[in-house]
């Protein structure tokens, strides 16, 4: 295997539990984010992660601490989107534009990508989102205002929506539509 194809990982603790990111080093490409899970096992690493991995982990830690991070997504050049179709990329791009503290529906995302009947495709694509938090799929709900599914589980999705709602209230953030 080529050295630049090796996948590295970095495990870090957030207020919601341990999270991890997976990445390639040269050039740096984020391949996956693992949402926080509660686990009491000691998670120590014996190596220093890539500087950009540290930056991303700090953004995620800040997010779960309730820091109003408006432009959370790092540069798209940092995301390994090589295995994604153009239509999947359009879903992720539209989802990334949902403002902090706001919600959108699967149907609304389908309309944004000019595929108004593709709301199930949107749901399937978001269920496979390799970059949760950076691409805020937790902000997408069903048209009937029910939560819908989430890779991290419904409870985590509800907590993330509530965290954003409370942060917006606490800091008086005014969102542009």
What does 33-101 look like in DSSP terms, one character per residue?
A: EEEEE---S----SSPPPHHHHHHHHHHHHHHTT---SS----GGGB--TT--HHHHHHHHHHHTSPTT
Asked if residue 96 and residue 164 are part of one domain, the reply reads yes
Predicted pLDDT at 19: 96
Mean pLDDT score of the chain: 89
- 177 falls within a domain: no
The torsion angles phi and psi of 20, rounded to 5 degrees, stand at: -150, 155
- Which token pair is 56? 């991303």
Domain boundary among 64, 99, 115: 64
Mean pLDDT for the stretch of residues 132-159: 94
- 77 falls within a domain: no
Asked if residue 131 and residue 96 are part of one domain, the reply reads yes
Asked if residue 139 and residue 94 are part of one domain, the reply reads yes
Predicted pLDDT at 171: 80
- Which residue range forms the structural domain that includes residue 161? 84-169
Which active-site residues does the annotation give? 137
- 91 falls within a domain: yes
Asked if residue 163 and residue 88 are part of one domain, the reply reads yes
Asked if residue 123 and residue 163 are part of one domain, the reply reads yes
Binning pLDDT at 50, 70 and 90, where does residue 176 land? low
Predicted pLDDT at 18: 95
- 9 falls within a domain: yes
- 71 falls within a domain: no
Whether the model clears a pTM of 0.95, i.e. scores above it, the answer is: no
Asked if residue 92 and residue 30 are part of one domain, the reply reads no
Count of the separate structural domains present in the chain: 2
- Kindly report, residue by residue over 14-46, the tens digit of the pLDDT: 999 999 999 999 899 999 999 998 765 656 666
- 104 falls within a domain: yes
- 27 falls within a domain: yes
Name which residue leads in pLDDT, 2 or 142. 142
Predicted pLDDT at 1: 56
- Which token pair is 73? 């997504």
Q: Long-range contacts of range 79-84, CB-CB < 8 Å, 24 or more positions apart? A: 79/29, 79/30, 79/131, 79/134, 80/23, 80/24, 80/29, 80/30, 80/31, 80/130
Among 74, 82, 79, 84, residue whose Cα is nearest residue 128: 84
* Region of poorest pLDDT, from 36-40, 116-120, 153-157: 36-40
Asked if residue 116 and residue 43 are part of one domain, the reply reads no
Asked if residue 110 and residue 46 are part of one domain, the reply reads no
Using CA atoms, how far apart are residues 94 and 68, in angstroms rounded to an integer? 20
- Which token pair is 144? 């009937």
- 76 falls within a domain: no
- Residue-by-residue DSSP string for 111-139: HHTT-TT-HHHHHHHHHT-SSBTTB-GGG
- Which token pair is 120? 């199930």
Domain boundary among 64, 93, 110: 64
Predicted pLDDT at 42: 57
- Kindly report, residue by residue over 65-86, the tens digit of the pLDDT: 998 765 555 578 899 999 999 9
- Check which CATH number belongs to the domain holding 95 and give it: 1.10.10.10
């Amino acid at each position: 295997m080529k050295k630049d194809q090796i996948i590295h990982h970095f495990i870090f603790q957030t207020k919601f539990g341990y999270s991890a990111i997976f990445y390639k080093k040269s050039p740096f490409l984020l391949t996956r984010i693992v949402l926080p899970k509660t686990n009491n096992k000691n998670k120590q690493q014996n190596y220093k992660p890539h500087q950009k991995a540290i930056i991303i982990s700090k953004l995620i830690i800040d997010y779960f601490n309730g820091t109003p991070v408006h432009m959370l997504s790092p540069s798209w050049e940092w995301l390994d989107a090589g295995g994604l179709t153009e239509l999947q990329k359009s879903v992720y791009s539209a989802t990334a534009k949902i403002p902090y503290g706001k919600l959108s529906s699967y149907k609304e995302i389908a309309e944004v990508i000019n595929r108004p009947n593709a709301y199930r495709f949107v749901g399937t694509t978001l269920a496979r989102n390799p970059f949760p938090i950076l691409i805020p799929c937790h902000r997408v709900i069903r048209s009937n205002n029910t939560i819908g599914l989430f890779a991290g589980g419904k409870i985590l999705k509800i907590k993330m929506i509530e965290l954003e709602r409370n942060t917006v209230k606490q800091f008086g953030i005014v969102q542009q539509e």
